[in-house]
């Protein structure tokens, strides 16, 4: 149930308890509940429902961006790379802001910090390096190493000199 509904139920129970205690001639004070309404919204079940709704909203927002963005992407960009960066934004609100100014968002991805920047830098590097990999080396293996390094700067250096990265494998 929603917090407002829970508050209303708690208030109704308190009023009923107060009326019952008043009519029975006992104390006129309200019955105290050991759990606050805010505590009820923090239960794992409620938190799971909130997280699920947020995930659905995020996915819906990404679908709406795709309908606008996919046909406008430069030839060297894949939708899956943009989608991965959008997922790292983490909220439907942020994705909707990106949708409203898609060109600015795409241009800003190379300067993003944290997971968004790392995801984007790895995607850009893949476009350059994957076709250069020696036989037997899979992009997924290199990607795992890059994620573990967690360094946008190292990835950008590899972008400037992809041959050096490939020769070090």
pLDDT digits (tens, 9 = 90+) for 9-21: 667 767 776 666 5
Please check whether residue 89 is in contact with residue 116, taking contact to mean a CB–CB distance below 8 angstroms: yes
Using pLDDT thresholds of 50, 70 and 90, give the confidence band for residue 23: low
Q: Which residue has the higher pLDDT, 41 or 84?
A: 84
What lies within 8 Å, CB to CB, of 21 at 6+ separation is: 27, 28, 29, 31
pLDDT reported for residue 36? 53
* pLDDT tens string 56-99: 888 888 888 888 888 888 777 788 888 888 888 878 888 888 88
Token readout for 32 is: 């105290």
Q: Which residue has the higher pLDDT, 148 or 24?
A: 148
Entry pTM? 0.58
Tell me whether residue 87 is exposed, middle or buried, using C-beta atoms within 10 angstroms of its C-beta: 0 to 12, 13 to 18, 19 or more.
middle
Q: Judge whether residue 3 has pLDDT over 60.
A: no
Please check whether residue 85 is in contact with residue 120, taking contact to mean a CB–CB distance below 8 angstroms: yes
Torsion angles phi and psi, residue 155, rounded to 5:
-70, -40
pLDDT reported for residue 90? 79
The overall average pLDDT reported for the chain is 77
pLDDT reported for residue 1? 47
Q: What percent of the chain has pLDDT over 90?
A: 0
Q: Which residue has the higher pLDDT, 36 or 111?
A: 111
pLDDT reported for residue 118? 86
Query: Mean pLDDT across the stretch 104-123?
Result: 83
């Amino acid at each position: 149930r929603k917090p407002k509904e829970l508050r209303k139920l708690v208030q109704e129970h308190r009023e009923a308890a107060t009326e019952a205690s008043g009519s029975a001639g006992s104390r006129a004070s309200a019955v105290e509940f050991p759990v606050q309404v805010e505590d009820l919204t923090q239960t794992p079940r409620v938190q799971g429902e909130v997280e699920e709704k947020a995930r659905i909203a995020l996915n819906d927002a990404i679908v709406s961006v795709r309908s606008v963005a996919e046909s406008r992407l430069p030839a060297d960009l894949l939708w899956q790379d943009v989608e991965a960066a959008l997922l790292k934004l983490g909220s439907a609100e942020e994705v909707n802001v990106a949708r409203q100014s898609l060109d600015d968002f795409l241009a800003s991805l190379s300067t993003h910090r944290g997971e968004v920047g790392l995801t984007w830098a790895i995607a850009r590097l893949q476009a350059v390096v994957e076709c250069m990999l020696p036989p037997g080396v899979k992009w997924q293996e290199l990607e795992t190493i890059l994620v573990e390094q967690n360094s946008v700067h190292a990835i950008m250096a590899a972008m400037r000199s992809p041959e050096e990265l490939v020769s070090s494998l």
